[in-house]
Amino acid sequence: MSRGYDEITSFLGEWGPFQRAIFFLLSSSIIPNGFNGLSVVFLADTPSHWCHIPANANISVEWRNVSIPLEELNGELQYSKCKRYSLGVIRNLSAMNYLPGVDVNLTEIKQERCLDGWEYSQETYLSTIVTQWDLVCSNDWKIPLTTSVFYLGVLCGSFISGQLSDRYGRKVVLFGTMAVQTCFSVIQVFAPNWGAFCVLFFIVGMGQISNYVAAFVLGTEILGKSARVLYSTLGVCLFFAIGYMLLPLFAFCIRDWRMLQLALSVPGFLYIPLWWFIPESPRWLLSQGRVEEAEEILQEAARKNGIAAPTRIFEPGEVSDWASKRKQSHSILDLLRTKNICTMTIMFFAVWMTVSVGYFALSLNTPNLHGDPYLNCFFSAATEVPAYVVAWLLLRWFPRRYSMSATLFLGGVLLFFIHLIPPSLTMVSTALEMVGKFGITAAFSIVYVYTAEVYPTVVRNMAVGACSMGSRLGSIISPYFIYLGTYDKYLPYFLMGSLTILSGILILLIPESFRVPMPETIDEMQIIKGLKPKMSSYNVQSPAEAE
């Protein structure tokens, strides 16, 4: 009987100098994803604005001071952002020495749109892409679309990253896509218009998810079993959160969007030297028949760990066995082949999409919260650190189904009840939103592992990929949840809270995978609660039998 890869390479140990170096170097490559993935929070924020009144309007100071009408928004009187009183009418009234509010009732004056552009407050930002290209009023739909274009690039990158990685290698794709993300982020600095910015943003999104996936796969394939679990939960997630926490620091120090974009892009070049320290995946090399290269990497790893490696690590027969097992005999249609697996895929797809909507919508919403936008963004990022730690502890000690449901309920209930908080208690609302994001972030981390454990080996990669498409679609539509807040600031919370609570209920119908042997074939999958098992089609092993 041929040995498995983990058994053959067990002589390396689990946590030697080689494994520690790979763990931290690959995890650190995720940091730019944290601040580039959510940079739009500051790049596309909308500062206070109002209609521009030309200096040569020939109106008196008294009329200039009241030329912008007041409007009620969310129970508060504010200067209109998109309208002004007709300058032609005001000019005539000013010429006749009529005083506003004394000789003339302002409500009777005709209003018009901002024909001469806008003026923007520079209290928070010197410039954003909104002020650069006037993405306000009739053009405000372009703001959420900008973010959606980026996440559409992420969706497309998700499709191609796996294929590129399987064909050209994990290391080549990792550094190639990091170069794409970095270089096109720099080119964005010189974008002449909004359309060009979006095209470049799409490409940056493709590069970002591709290098993330490549780093994730490379780490899980090089590291041993115990380090692999730690890397896939705390490693990449925590270093993403570190990058996210650095974003508001960059933005606070650099208030001009072009300089901020450049500052966020430059750190990508610091990863060039890692090419000589991060090896290719030995597993991938073996799958390509490049046994000598794989053995050379493992020999070097043994040397770094101070261990004497076998003269010949892999036997020819073992390599040929693995190559034959890699022959794909299943397609994505197998995820719809039976009622059980089809229902499970639809349910997971919905849960992934809901969790993604909540996570990205709350992350993008920090500039709209009461208080300093930089502190709000930092607190939003900081909540992810304990969320990932809690998720890791839950994955180690508690059932997946109840852990997912509890974290989803925590996030959903708190978001749902934000609309009941009095407007004067803004700090309470912000605190509830942060704790709500904590719950959703923890659920986001757990769902990756849960999905992989429930599906059988023969379709596991395809299943996780198909379900994660729900996450990508959720990120694409998440900016529009925030956009709904321009009409009613509580509507996004009501929708996100309701959907998250429903997902918490839905996840309870999915079978438990904690301490249950992972299925190898579709027939070994557990049955969704409420579905009648067909004994002729399934050979299901109960948790009691598994033990």
DSSP letter at 515? T
- The residue with greater pLDDT, 248 or 327, is 248
Q: What is the three-state SS of 138-183?
A: HHCCHHHHHHHHHHHHHHHHHHHHHHHHHHHCHHHHHHHHHHHHHH
Rounded Cα–Cα distance for residues 307 and 96 (Å): 95
- The residue with greater pLDDT, 513 or 83, is 83
Where does residue 62 rank: exposed (0-12), middle (13-18), buried (19+ CB within 10 A)? middle
pLDDT confidence band for 531 (50 / 70 / 90): low
pLDDT of 521: 67
* Cα–Cα nearest to 84, from 65, 103, 62: 65
If DSSP codes are grouped into helix, strand and coil, which group holds residue 413? helix
Rounded Cα–Cα distance for residues 260 and 263 (Å): 5
Given a contact cutoff of 8 angstroms between Cβ atoms, the answer to whether 529 and 507 are in contact is: no
Name residue 70's beta-bridge partners: 79
Average pLDDT over residues 6-28: 81
Bridge pairing between strands 111-113 and 118-120: unpaired
In whole angstroms, how far apart are CA 477 and each of 350, 378, 471?
Answer: 13, 23, 10
Rounded Cα–Cα distance for residues 400 and 511 (Å): 9
Complete DSSP assignment for 70-139: EEEETTEEEE-SSEEE-HHHHHHHHHTTPPBTTTB-GGGS-EEE-TT-EEE--SS-SB-HHHHHT-SGGG
Rounded Cα–Cα distance for residues 500 and 482 (Å): 16
Rounded Cα–Cα distance for residues 30 and 174 (Å): 11
Record the tokens describing residue 36, joined without a space: 């580039």
Quick check: 337 pLDDT over 80? no
Quick check: 476 pLDDT over 60? yes
What percent of the chain is predicted at pLDDT more than 70? 87
Rounded Cα–Cα distance for residues 213 and 157 (Å): 10
Signed CA dihedral, 261, 267, 272, 277: sign only: negative
* Cα–Cα nearest to 201, from 162, 151, 130: 151
What are the pLDDT digits (tens) for 166-218?
778 788 888 888 899 999 999 999 999 999 999 999 999 888 877 877 787 78
pLDDT of 309: 67
Average pLDDT over residues 405-412: 92
Chain center to CA of 248: 16
Name residue 77's beta-bridge partners: 72
Q: Which of 64-68, 139-143, 285-289, 293-297 has the highest average model confidence (pLDDT)?
A: 139-143
Rounded Cα–Cα distance for residues 494 and 416 (Å): 5
pTM: 0.83
Name residue 76's beta-bridge partners: 73
Rounded Cα–Cα distance for residues 263 and 42 (Å): 13
Record the tokens describing residue 424, joined without a space: 């004067």
Structural domains of the chain, ranges and CATH numbers in brackets? 1-42+137-327 (1.20.1250.20), 49-120 (no CATH), 330-547 (1.20.1250.20)
What are the pLDDT digits (tens) for 418-469?
877 877 788 888 888 899 999 999 998 888 778 877 877 666 666 777 777 8
pLDDT of 307: 79
Quick check: 379 pLDDT over 50? yes
Record the tokens describing residue 474, joined without a space: 């959720």
- The residue with greater pLDDT, 130 or 220, is 130
Given a contact cutoff of 8 angstroms between Cβ atoms, the answer to whether 117 and 34 are in contact is: no
Rounded Cα–Cα distance for residues 320 and 261 (Å): 49
The number of helix segments (H) and strand segments (E) in the chain equals 24, 6
Amino acid (1-letter code) at residue 54: P
Quick check: 547 pLDDT over 50? no
Average pLDDT over residues 26-40: 88
Quick check: 368 pLDDT over 90? no
* Cα–Cα nearest to 351, from 408, 273, 428: 408
Name residue 400's beta-bridge partners: none
Average pLDDT over residues 492-512: 89
* Cα–Cα nearest to 472, from 70, 238, 148: 148
pLDDT of 540: 41
Record the tokens describing residue 251, joined without a space: 């933005």
pLDDT of 91: 83
Mean pLDDT across the chain, nearest whole number?
Answer: 82
133 φ/ψ angles, rounded to the nearest 5 degrees = -120, 20
Q: Which of 2-11, 289-298, 366-375 has the highest average model confidence (pLDDT)?
A: 366-375
Rounded Cα–Cα distance for residues 304 and 201 (Å): 41
